[in-house]
Amino acid sequence: MAKVVLRLAIERGDLDWEARVRAAHHRLARTPLYAPEEGEYLSSAWSQAHRAFRRALLEGCGNPVLLDAFDRMWTASELGRRWSAHRTPDRDVADEHRQLEEATLARDADTAIDVLTRHLALTATVLAGPKTGSP
C-alpha cells in the first residue's frame, strides 16, 4: 500500500508538501537512532521522527482515507518494530532515508518506490533475523 500512496504523493504533491518532506527528513537525519538510556532499542525520539518522515512522504497523495489507513498500519506495526529492531552495523538506514527523500523530491517515482521496497525488505529481514552487533 505504501508504494501506491507514495506514487500518488509524487504525482500530486505541491511545493508545501516538498517542504514538509525536506523538513521531516532533516529532523530524522539529525535525531540519534539509539539513546543510551533506552539501551539497544530504537530511541523514542527517532521513532517519532521516522513516523513523521514517512507520513510527510505520503501526505502529498491528498487522500485522507489512504493516510488514515497508513496511520493505522503504522501504529499496529510500531511496537514490534521498536522492540524487535536492533543494531545492524552493516546497514546504513540514514542513507536509505536520504535516497528515498532525494528520489521523492526529484519526482522519480520508479526510483523512490525501488528504494522504499528495498528499505522495507531490509527492515523485514532485520526484524525476522537473530540479533547482530553489540548493544
Identify whether 135 is part of a domain: no
Domain residues for the domain of 8 are 2-128
Identify whether 67 is part of a domain: yes
Query: Which band of pLDDT confidence, cut at 50, 70 and 90, is reported for residue 135?
Result: very low
Identify whether 134 is part of a domain: no
pTM of the model: 0.86
Query: Which band of pLDDT confidence, cut at 50, 70 and 90, is reported for residue 116?
Result: very high
% of the chain exceeding 70 in pLDDT: 87
- 116 or 130: which carries more pLDDT confidence? 116
- Structural domain count, the chain: 1
CA-based angle 34:24:12, to the nearest 5?
A: 140
Identify whether 7 is part of a domain: yes
- 40 or 7: which carries more pLDDT confidence? 7
For residue 51, CA distances in Å to 22, 89, 110, 131, 132 come to 14, 22, 22, 23, 24
Identify whether 133 is part of a domain: no
pLDDT digits (tens, 9 = 90+) for 66-102: 999 988 988 877 766 666 666 666 788 999 999 999 9
d(CA 81, CA 84): 5
- 110 or 71: which carries more pLDDT confidence? 110
CATH number reported for the structural domain that contains residue 124 in this entry: 1.20.120.530
- Please say whether the dihedral angle defined by the alpha carbons of residues 98, 48, 93 and 107, taken in this order, is positive or negative: negative
Question: Residue with C-alpha cell 546504513?
Answer: 92
pLDDT for position 80? 65
